[in-house]
Amino acid sequence: MAEEKNEKKVFEKDLDDYRDQVWGCARCNWCQNQWGWNVKSAEFSEICPAFHEYRFFPYSGMGKMHMARAILEGDFDYEDAPELAEFVYTCTTCGACEMNCQRMQDKEPLKVNEALRAKLVADGIGPMPDHKKLISSVKSYDNPWMQPRTQRKRWAKKIGIKDVNKEPAETLYFVGCTTALDPSMTKAAQDTANILLKAGVDLGTLGQNELCCGSPIARIGDRETFFELARRNIDRLNALGLKEIVTSCPGCYRAIKLDYAEIPDVPAINFEVLHTVQYIDRLIQEGRLTFTKEIPLKVTWHDPCHLGRHCGIYEEPRNILKALPGIEFVEKERIKDQSWCCGGGGGARTAFLEFAQVTAAKLIDEVKKTTGAEAIVTCCPFCEQNIGDVLARTGDSLQLIDLTDLVVRAL
Partner 1 sequence: MAEGKKQKVMHKKLARDVYQALEDVVGKRWINEKRSLVETYSKLSIEGMTFVRKHQKDETILPACVVLPGSTEEVQSIVKICNRYGVPFVPFTNGQVFCTPTNDVPTLVIHLSRMNKIINIDAENMAATLEAYVDYAQLQAEAMKQGLWNGGTPLATTLCKLSSQFSFAGLWQTDLKYGLLNRNIVSVKMVLPDGEILTIGSRCLPKAGDYWEYGPGPDLLGIQRGGAGSNGIVTEITVKLHPWAGDETLPEVPHGRPSLEDVHDPKYDSPPPPANHKLYWIEFNDMETQIKTMRDISHAGIAIGLNATGVYSAYYCSQTQEMTWDRCENKFFPDYNCYAILAGITSPKQIEYEEKVLKRIVQRNGGTFLSADHKPEVLEALKPWNLDCIRHTCGYRMNRKMYASAWLPTGPFEVAKQTQQFWSDALNAFGECDITDRGGADDTPFLYALQRGRFSFAEVDNYPDPTNPDEIVKAAGFGVYGMARLVKENVCPCLMAFLSVEPFTTMFPEVGPDQHILFRKIRKVFDPKGVNAPGRQVYTKEEWENAPAELKQMVNKMREMVGLEAVQ
> Is residue 308 part of the contact set for partner 1 (CB under 8 A)?
yes
Task: Give the nearest distance from C-beta 102 to partner 1 in angstroms.
Answer: 5
List, in sequence order, every beta strand (DSSP E) within 75-229: 162-163, 171-174, 203-205
Rule CB under 8 A: choose which of 63, 207, 216, 347 binds partner 1. 63
Q: How far is the CB of 334 from partner 1 (least distance, A)?
A: 11
- 322 near partner 1, judged by CB under 8 A: no
Separation of alpha carbons 380 and 403, rounded Å: 9
Q: Which long-range contacts (CB under 8 A, 24 or more apart) does 81-87 make?
A: 84/120, 84/125, 85/120, 85/125, 85/126, 85/127, 85/128, 86/128, 87/58, 87/59, 87/63
Give the residue, chosen from 311, 387, 391, 410, that forms a contact with partner 1 under the rule CB under 8 A: 311
Q: How far is the CB of 303 from partner 1 (least distance, A)?
A: 10
- Assess 269 for contact with partner 1 (CB under 8 A): no
- Which of 15, 380, 383, 11 has the alpha carbon at shortest distance from 230? 11
Taking the C-alpha atoms of residue 220 and residue 135, their distance in angstroms, rounded to an integer, is: 9
Tell me which H or E stretch contains 191: helix 186-198
Rounded to a whole number of angstroms, the minimum distance from the CB of residue 312 to partner 1 is: 3
Q: Where are the beta strands (DSSP E) in 213-341?
A: 244-247, 272-275, 297-301, 327-329
192 binds partner 1 (CB under 8 A): no
- Which string of x and - marks every residue 9-38 that binds partner 1 (by CB under 8 A)? ----------xx--xxxxxxxx--xxxxxx
Piece in contact with partner 1 (CB under 8 A), picked from 73-81, 155-163, 187-195, 359-367: 73-81
CA angle, residues 249, 315, 340, in degrees to nearest 5: 65
Binding flags for partner 1, 140-169, as an x/- string (CB under 8 A): ------------------------------
Letters for 345-384 (x = contact with partner 1 by CB under 8 A, - = none) are ----------------------------------------
Are 190 and 155 in contact by the 8 Å Cβ rule? The answer is yes
User: Which residue in the set 191, 281, 337, 389 belongs to the binding site for partner 1 (CB under 8 A)?
Assistant: 337
Residues in a beta bridge with 300? 376
Comparison of 232 and 336: residue with beta carbon closer to partner 1: 336
Q: Specify whether the CB–CB gap between 372 and 348 falls below 8 A.
A: no
Grouping H, G, I as helix, E, B as strand and the rest as coil, residue 66 is helix
Q: Figure out which of the listed residues 336, 353, 374, 396 binds partner 1, where binding follows CB under 8 A.
A: 336
CA atoms of 146 and 181, how far apart (whole Å): 10
Alpha helices in 84-128 (DSSP H): 84-89, 96-105, 109-122
If one asks whether residue 70 binds partner 1 (CB under 8 A), the answer comes out as yes
**Binding to partner 1 (CB under 8 A): which residues in 33-62?**
33-42, 45, 55-58, 60, 62
Contact residues for partner 1, defined by CB under 8 A = 1, 3, 19-20, 23-30, 33-42, 45, 55-58, 60, 62-63, 66-67, 69-70, 73-77, 80-81, 83-84, 87, 95, 98-99, 102-106, 258, 308-315, 335-338
